């Protein structure tokens, strides 16, 4: 069944270069010890893990098993990083939450870490937390992952939430699945556009 928030996102960020990850969700959630939001699961079925204009990325829940590919980034690795950042930046003084309630789902070249705050028992009510490199280090946004990405695509924030500038995202932004990104790079092509690497700075 199509998820309405992901369907809205697809209208502003084409899924042409996405790919269904075909994830065994009961097994993955058992490994993570948590149930994940339905919009994230729908995103993984439509887009999969991958990059947005080479400036932001949506993480896989677990590392893939395919040979010949680098690890594209996973929830457990970046979750450990954001919990370390929370402690480094002052803990409760920086963001008054239990650090175990921070669960990463994305990253940017900022470098920022995009997370859920998982304190609610319903994953579909988890807000997005952005861990930035500049003050305020932590920002909480009262909507889920797919809506956050849609607002990024449309620049619908009074104050831009990321460390990197809004101008780095195209109109519309390009999503490219992580396998295709890596295959393009290995072939000497721009991972975002598929053009020869010499054209990388032309867009």
Does residue 200 carry a pLDDT above 50? no
What are the DSSP calls for the chain, one per residue? ---HHHHHHHTTS--TT-------HHHHHHHHTS---HHHHHHHHHT-SEEETTTEEEPBSS----TTS----BHHHHHHHHHHHHHHTTGGGT--S-GGGEEEEEEESSS-EEEEE--SSSGGGPPEEEE-SSSSSEEEESS-HHHHHHHHHHT--SS--SSS-GGGS-SS--EEEHHHHHHHHHTTB-TTT-SBGGGGGG-
Q: pLDDT tens-digit profile of 4-44?
A: 999 999 999 999 999 999 999 999 999 999 999 999 999 99
Instruction: Return the pLDDT at 168.
Output: 84
Q: pLDDT tens-digit profile of 125-149?
A: 999 999 998 888 999 999 999 999 9
Q: pLDDT tens-digit profile of 68-93?
A: 888 899 999 999 999 999 999 999 99
């Amino acid at each position: 069944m199509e998820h309405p928030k992901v369907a809205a996102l697809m209208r502003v960020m084409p899924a042409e270069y996405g790919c269904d990850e075909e994830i065994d969700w009961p097994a993955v959630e058992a490994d993570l010890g948590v149930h994940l939001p339905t919009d994230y699961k729908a995103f993984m079925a439509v887009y999969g893990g991958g990059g947005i204009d080479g400036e932001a990325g949506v993480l896989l829940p677990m590392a893939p098993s395919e040979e010949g590919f680098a690890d594209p980034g996973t929830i457990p690795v970046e979750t450990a990083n954001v919990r370390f950042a929370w402690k480094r930046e002052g803990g409760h003084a920086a963001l008054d939450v239990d650090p175990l309630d921070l669960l990463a789902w994305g990253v940017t070249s900022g470098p920022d870490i995009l997370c859920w705050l998982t304190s609610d028992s319903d994953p579909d009510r988890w807000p997005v937390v952005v861990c930035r490199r500049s003050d305020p280090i932590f920002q909480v946004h009262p909507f889920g992952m797919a809506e956050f990405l849609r607002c990024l695509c449309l620049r619908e924030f009074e104050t831009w939430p990321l460390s990197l500038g809004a101008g780095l995202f195209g109109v519309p932004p390009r999503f490219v699945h992580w396998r295709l990104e890596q295959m393009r790079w290995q072939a000497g092509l721009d991972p975002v556009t598929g053009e020869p690497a010499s054209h990388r700075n032309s867009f």
